[in-house]
Structure 1
């Protein structure tokens, strides 16, 4: 197992600077943010130009990693593959294919994305639509020696009322997507606030986990008593990600049992990357605080990960 992080937490830095910092602070691998170069959505970055990937970009990425003793664990482009706007959906699928092409050129690392959802349609209608549109992307990846993986993030901010915006949030839906040839980028933090035991949920599916996120979550039961499970409704306003009774944390600062989590991965035969996804509001807001958050994560996880 290798310890790394998703580079989206450092959107203001070029890849070379991110890699230099990671190598100097004991990280071994990077999950490269590969969103389109245009756009300013939160928790995204463009450390690899998938939409303009050529021999020069391949050389640049390879050198940045090699010069700092790092490997590449995956490419990250988490977007809504069931977007209700046909033009937007087509653009998303085109970028997924571009990421797959880049991943193939870089040794066949996995590409991470979301199932997504059309919030104006029922879950069952969305699943049927996904069964139509996702297999061509899976096939496109397989033909190039790449595996397409889905993170089990709820993406509640994509739904107008805080419902699931990514239909891959529970074991029931993992089984459905495995049948389509998709794999899992497992993240324990999302399960915690859903009321699902992350360790119990992980254990039967480790063989389909090809990449693992390290992110924690902290809950506030008194606030849940006010807002309910679905979080703020009338007071969400322009902050769709502020649910009011939970928040993401750096590993070790929330309620996920990372000793059991990592041990369960090992017990199931997992030998991929454990990638810190830093979205902790306490250790965010400035580049230096993001660095400190990653340092805390490294101190928490390093004793658990055997190289």
Structure 2
């Protein structure tokens, strides 16, 4: 396994500055944003798609520092009911897949998106309750008319370009649990998998280790984010897990993101890493920093310090003791 970072947290640095900074910390892989919510500070899709020489120079900067690109990430909402927003996300996804193919990057990460509740809707509708029955009707329409048709086409497109799709299981989007992911994968094929982030499992009440087992049995984990979450139980009792309190009001939130080790201890993270290996994931653990209590550098550094001791770097080979 390799330790990586989602480089969006260093968007204030240019590519060379960012690569020097993270490589000096012992990082072995970078996950690069190509637009959408993450921005494209370190990976200009249009520029790289149109120039083979620039692509070669781009990859040389990364490989010369002993690193790989674990994924290109274009998190957005390609199913947004507002046509302009959806079309921009869709075009970005296609270009990101094409670039990943040219750069030989195996995974493109994004969100599943979330449609509205009818053809003329203006905003996404995220049903989270089975009753009143209106929500079941909305959910059925979304999956049958929007989600499956769109991702079936995109899965075929990705397969054609020898790229896997890592959908981040994130609240507010249609695919946000292992069950959602496997439903879409069954309908669209194995190009669809998870960019699994345990922080979003915890706040939904899902044990990340169990989510790894559920998805790992189906070989459905394509990429992995390392981010932590803390549950504030008194606020959870008051607000519930679908807490709409702004992230900036951390004292009043039911849950909020922490850097690795500050929501759950080393043993929990050791169990997560071990479960990944047990179920066949031997790729990159990509640090994502969204901790409102720590600076970027402090949170990033502490995540590395807490992950390094539990990373599994070598496969066992033969079980020599039997």
Q: Normalised by the size of structure 2, how large is the TM-score?
A: 0.83
Over alpha carbons, which structure has the higher Rg?
A: 2
In the TM superposition, what is the alpha-carbon distance from 1:247 to its structure 2 partner? 0.7
Task: For residue 255 of structure 1, report the CA deviation from its aligned partner.
Answer: 2.8
Consecutive aligned runs of 4 or more in structure 1 exceeding 3 Å deviation = 238-243
Distance in 2 (CA, whole Å) between partners of 1:82 and 1:240 is 30
1:11 and 2:11 aligned: yes
Aligned to 1:48: 43
| 1:64 shift after superposition | 2.0
Do the aligned partners of residues 169 and 97 (structure 1) sit closer, same or farther apart at CA in structure 2, a change above 3 Å counting? same
Question: What are the superposed Cα offsets for residues 257-290 of structure 1, whole Å, 9 maximum, x if unpaired?
Answer: 211100000111111100011111112xxxxx21
Checking the alignment, whether the CA contact within 8 Å between 1:10 and 1:45 is kept in structure 2 is no
In the alignment, the residues of structure 1 paired with residue 57 and residue 173 of structure 2 have an alpha-carbon distance, to the nearest angstrom, of: 33
CA distance in 2, matches of 1:58, 1:267: 36
Pair 1:290 & 2:296 matched: yes
**Equivalent of 2:77, from 72, 76, 80?**
80
Deviations 1:18-68 (CA, angstroms, capped at 9, x unpaired): 1111111101000111116xxxx5x54431111332324312321221222
Selected match of 2:222 from 206, 210, 217: 210
Pair 1:133-2:150 in alignment: yes
Q: Give the count of matched residue pairs.
A: 284
Relative to structure 1, the CA distance from residue 248 to residue 239 in structure 2 (aligned partners, 3 Å threshold; closer, same or farther) is closer
The question of whether the paired residues in 1 share the 8 Å contact of 2:241 and 2:255 is answered with no
Does residue 123 (structure 1) correspond to residue 134 (structure 2)? The answer is no
Q: Which has the higher contact order (CA 8 A, sep 6+)?
A: 1
Q: Distance in 1 between matches of 2:82 and 2:261?
A: 40
Correspondent of 2:237 among 225, 236, 243: 225
Q: Quick one: which of 142, 153, 171 aligns to 2:178?
A: 171
**Is 1:57 equivalent to 2:54 in the alignment?**
yes
**Aligned partner of 2:168 among 151, 156, 171:** 151
Which runs of 5 or more residues in structure 1 are unaligned? 155-164, 284-288
Kept in 2, the 8 Å contact 1:183–1:208? The answer is yes
**Aligned counterpart in structure 1 of residue 206 of structure 2, from 187, 196, 203:** 196
CA gap 1:60/1:243 in 2 versus in 1, 3 angstroms? farther
- The aligned residue for residue 305 of structure 1 is 311
Q: 2:160 & 2:203 partners in 1: Cα distance?
A: 37
- The answer to whether residue 268 in structure 2 is matched with residue 262 in structure 1 is no
1-side partners of 2:251 and 2:152: how far apart?
Answer: 33
For the 8 Å contact 2:78–2:88, the answer to whether it is kept is no
SS where residue 80 of structure 1 aligns?
coil
